[in-house]
Structure 1
Amino acid sequence: MHSFEIEGGHKLSGEITPQGAKNEALQIICATLLTNQEVEISNIPDIVDVNNLIDLLDHLGVQIVKKNSHTYSFKAENIDLGYLQGKEFRNKASSLRGSIMIMGPLLARYGKAYFPKPGGDKIGRRRLDTHFVGFEKLGARFHYNANEIFYSLETDGLKGSYMLLDEASVTGTANIVLAAVLAEGKTTIYNAACEPYLQQLCKMLVSMGAEISGIGSNLLSIQGVPGLSGCKHRLLPDMIEIGSFIGMAAMTGSEITIKDTAYDQLGIIPEAFKKMGVKLQRRGDDIFIPQQDEYEIETFIDGSIMTIADAPWPGLTPDLLSVFLVIATQAKGSVLIHQKMFESRLFFVDKLIDMGARIILCDPHRATVIGLNKETPLRGTTLTSPDIRAGVALLIAALSAKGTSTIQNINQIDRGYQGIDVRLQKLGARIKRV
């Protein structure tokens, strides 16, 4: 098992380019199962979760060609549905939550789909009801084997339907859209997720011949078509990685340029960092973060403490709250971090408290951070990464800390961040994999 050893307290400088978007990649790669024609995807990140999904599709019978380090072609001409019943599939799929989005395409194209209980980050309850209720609305028969924790779906033909999602689940919306594009008739989805990655999925499906309207809103209308063709698609840069780099620059007092950010797709992320006192400038599609010796958290108009909370898009993505929390520890002022979606995502704060941070964990969803204003640096220590986003937050803390830190269980970070140690070394970070 590898660890990161980090000598903190050093400023970074230079340029860094974000990887392709992990969350978009998982949706887009699953969408290749909807057609027997070739689909080419570029800007694919070389990370554990995405590589595991590509490997899963390879074992499922998809013809996959790696054209260069970040471009693949997929041709799902001969799918082995029998593989879905085997032990190997259960082991592979259960270790990767994002692979649940193979169910929509398989159900639409072959009339059956199977899946084990998915894994992924241990950040609280992550219900699958939205997926399966949506499939049932389209006419699928759902069965749950409680003894084996195995889900199965079958249909004699999906039919378009009206549905109101009980939550604006990104993967749930994606899975239903992937099934509905080949269903007979019209499907109307209210309370649909509308994140940029979901918009990208819909645009790709339209380029393949799907009929989807309302893209970018929470009301999607889908007119089913008999079949889809191939296409070429390029992934957006990863907004979570972009946010992580902004926070890293602020926390370490560094001057960094983040290249090719697709700035117009970042929503309120830049403004949320500005509320934390972090200065940043848009330069075309790049973001320049100047060196700051201190940054001060804004207050509300009446002087009350600022609250940073997650919300469905176009609100702030929950995947960045760990980064906002950690940079608040060295800010001037205080902030309430409210993680509404997952009840275990803030439990990593005890590690920051061990480093000297002033944090009150109010309950599983809320933490109040009293900033140290860089007057008292965090202390280096031994840390363990509990999930992808908390792992990067701890990495940011370690880079700013006085002394040496060791971060264990970094396979969690590798699941979502491509060669992060090598890329940060080029900025001057004292980090090595041991």
Structure 2
Amino acid sequence: MTPRPPGQRPARRLFTPAGWPDTAFLASVLRTETVGGAILLVASVLALAWANSPWQQAYVELGRFVPWPGGGSLHLDLTLGQWAADGLLAIFFFVVGLELKREFVAGDLHDPRQAVLPVVAAVGGVALPALVYAAVNLTSSGGAPRGWAIPTATDIAFALAVLAVINSHLPQGLRAFLLTLAVVDDLIAITIIAVFYSEQVHPLPLLGAVAAVVAFGALVRSGRTRWWALLPLAAVAWAMMHASGVHATVAGVLLGFTVPVHTNRGSHPHLAEHLEHRWRPISAGLAVPVFAFFAAGVPLRGTDVGRLLTDPIVLGVVAGLVIGKSVGILGSTYLVARFTRARLDSGISWRDLLGVSLLGGIGFTVSLLIGELAFGTGSVADGHVKAAVLGGSVLAALLAAAVLTRRNVVHRRAAERVAGDGDRRGGRTVTRPADG
């Protein structure tokens, strides 16, 4: 081997243990709620800009590009847009499944007394937006009523990102309430997709998918978590689910449900949390942003704005997200607290909950997916749905930010008063910052 000249730095090699700290740091950054929300926002803005640029056709052709033509027998003849919606989003739903399992076994949903308020809030936050949309489209012709489920979903990545940016003194229970609500919301959305937006179901491929999921679950429960065994089984489960007519992302949820939170052997404790920790950066940094990039590109050039703003589909989606979600979450929570012994966490006021209820109207990822399933990718109605989801989500985020920013100031001043009173009792003089 040729000796290295004195003072010359060694060449850095790829995929060596020296590079692992950087990878670990990147993964930890991608787990941060504000970072995941920011990447999702950048992908959406980039898609909107490209779809409304002189290079609009290139964006359309990119989404329609088929990387593996002729692979119909293996369900590989999908466009890039379909791969993003059916393939990459399965990773997102796998993480959702892991989160659901952990919450039901060891989290807030394990204790019915703690779970009752956010669970009822989630149900109200799904039912009322659907009713609002249905009421707006009651006399609509065509297939408009088929989009009833579009405003029912909450995008937890965006909602938690907005809350994280605003929050410095808000009660900690708000985040727990929002997270638990979103977990139940995701479960309801998954059920809606599986029941109402799946194609004609083919029994044999569905049985094959179930068999692959069962085999996956048996391996993880036995402690055999080798990637070379689990990834092929997950791929088979996805392919069989796709062939069955049930939306392929359901396979991701079922695979997540099989992972134990506690194992009998104790060799892999909290395996669901471990896998969620590993896969969340891939979901937040790749799967969801890529889907948003292909789904959020709404061409607005030459659009009849008057027709868009009077379209019952658009009105139903926006009203469902902004009004239905907030009233459904806040109203159902109030009714439960009014007529039962359930109570909000200490320190949380109804004004705080109003801000969180408005955050529930940020229905992005799953709302866009349901829109595509309801009206077909690339259809005129699908384009209107995308514009409505984007507009309604932005409006809900702005209203929530206005309410929660004000509440954050109130809680900050209260904390400063408490700190000042404590210091005076201790015989010290305090210089308190002026309220902004």
More strand by share: 1
Question: Given the two structures, how large is their TM-score scaled by the length of structure 1?
Answer: 0.25
Higher relative contact order (CA 8 A, sep 6+): 2
